[in-house]
Structure 1
Amino acid sequence: MKLLLIEDDTTLFNEIKERLSQWSYEVYGINDFNHVMQEFTEVKPDLVIIDIQLPKFDGFHWCRMIRSHSNVPILFLSSRDHPTDMVMSMQLGADDFIQKPFHFDVLIAKVQATLRRVYNYNTEQVSIKTWCSATVDFERNTVSNEIGSIELTKNEMYILKLLIEQKNKIVSRDALINSLWDDKRFISDNTLTVNVNRLRKRLEEIGLGRFIETKVGQGYLAIEEDSP
């Protein structure tokens, strides 16, 4: 999916672009803040992220302009902490508001949740995936290999999908919690631990438990093969 990031801070723009690109999003910026709408039309983004403080016109102005032409989801970024900013952004039709400074995992989780909600981009969109020589069926909530087949709860399968989509990369606890929270599944840190432990025990039944690793103080990792 294509994301348009309307942000004039080059350092922050590059950091956000790098993080979102790791999740396979195409991130575009604005080359000329005099022609934001022209560049918006050329990119045709699936989601827009707008900073409030911008050169020429502020983010509220561009939100109004975008909303007059499109229903594309919009997320606001702001270093200002006045509650009227959040109220104004919602009144203009924004989908969410993120306060600076923010944790990148929170931003990514909000982007994912918004895209799922708007485009029905959910765990069932890609129904079958192969991981560690096993077949993972997201519609039936099953994982099968030559040893056997297990059925997972929806929460367990949702966590497994988030992990194997980023296989061999650490997914932080904050990213998991925020993604699950926005999906209205659960918000408790302890509940996340319980669900991951239960998922690992279920995977052990078909010899895959060792492929879900806990990285203390960081998060969880789904590996494609045994670690060295």
Structure 2
Amino acid sequence: MKQKIYIVEDDASIGKLLSDYIEKYGFIIKVVQDFGSIIEEFDSFKPDVVLMDVNLPKFDGFYWCKRIRETSTVPIIFISARESGMDQVMALENGADDYITKPFYSEVVLAKIKSHIRRAYGNYATITEERIIELGYLKLYPERLELRFKNQSTIITKKEGILLECLMRRYPRIVNRDYLLEKMWDDTAFVEENTLNVNVTRLRRRLQEFDIENGIETVRGVGYKLNETIFEGQ
């Protein structure tokens, strides 16, 4: 079955360049038609990967990325002329999996698409039994990127899932920062110190959604550990 790529780009020439190049390699391509109906187009097309620009009409790419993440864990790769670290942080905070700056090499975009497809679908296709990591009432479902606490649930990003799995499996021990960076570093992007900080902050917010305060403890100069507050109320 051919995989589908949804391109959300307001520059028609760049959209056509990406579409023509990627289509040659056997993908089915859809370029956004209505910038006010991106979610409707996404739901109808059901893509395997989304290529997302930041500067878009009506709402920016960060907004649409966050909206997609409300219902889907599909890989989202930002392609933008905005090079600042803050833009890349914003993309990650809103659920993106990768960030490519313009001008770009089409070969790099294709390689990243294939890599994310391989990671999101290829390895999981052979799984016959879903993994569940449990710690008290906290349950992590890595394959579907879902986190549950008692009767509540939320969707997390891939890197948040990697980070939380490390912390849960090693509880109550401290997990070294270098170890976490190594685990979060994949073949699609180098993970910087700031990326780890961002994802720790985001995970704390996820736990706060479950009324778990101070769920992740920072051990200065060493790393992080889950706090015993995750067991409160049991």
TM-score when scaled to structure 1?
0.53
Among 39, 46, 49, the residue aligned to 1:47: 49
Kindly report which structure 2 residues correspond to 1:22-171, keeping only aligned pairs within 5 A, or say none: 22-120=24-122
Q: Distance in 2 between matches of 1:75 and 1:31?
A: 19
Helix, strand or coil at the partner of 2:77: strand
Q: Distance in 1 between matches of 2:68 and 2:54?
A: 14
Q: Distance in 1 between matches of 2:4 and 2:123?
A: 14
Which residue number corresponds to residue 166 of structure 1? none
Percent identity reads: 38
Residues 90-139 of structure 1, C-alpha deviations (whole Å, 9 max, x = no match) = 121211000000111111111111111111269x9xxxxxxxxxxxxxxx
Offset at residue 13 of structure 1 (A): 0.5
Offset at residue 81 of structure 1 (A): 1.3
Helix, strand or coil at the partner of 1:16: helix
Kindly report which structure 2 residues correspond to 1:161-200, keeping only aligned pairs within 5 A, or say none: 182=188
RMSD over aligned Cα atoms: 2.3
> Gaps (5+ residues) in structure 1?
125-180, 184-228
Q: Distance in 2 between matches of 1:121 and 1:22?
A: 24
TM-score when scaled to structure 2?
0.52
Offset at residue 82 of structure 1 (A): 0.9
Amino acid at match of 2:22: L
Helix, strand or coil at the partner of 2:104: coil
Q: Distance in 1 between matches of 2:18 and 2:31?
A: 11
Check whether the contact 2:98–2:188 (CA below 8 A) recurs between aligned residues. Answer: no
Q: Distance in 1 between matches of 2:26 and 2:86?
A: 34
Cα 1:63/1:6, change in 2 over 3 Å: same
Q: Distance in 1 between matches of 2:23 and 2:121?
A: 19
Amino acid at match of 1:59: G
Offset at residue 182 of structure 1 (A): 4.6
Q: Distance in 2 between matches of 1:13 and 1:62?
A: 17
Larger Rg: 1
Q: Distance in 1 between matches of 2:19 and 2:76?
A: 16
Cα 1:182/1:57, change in 2 over 3 Å: closer
Which residue number corresponds to residue 159 of structure 1? none
Paired residues in the alignment total 128
> Gaps (5+ residues) in structure 2?
127-186, 190-234
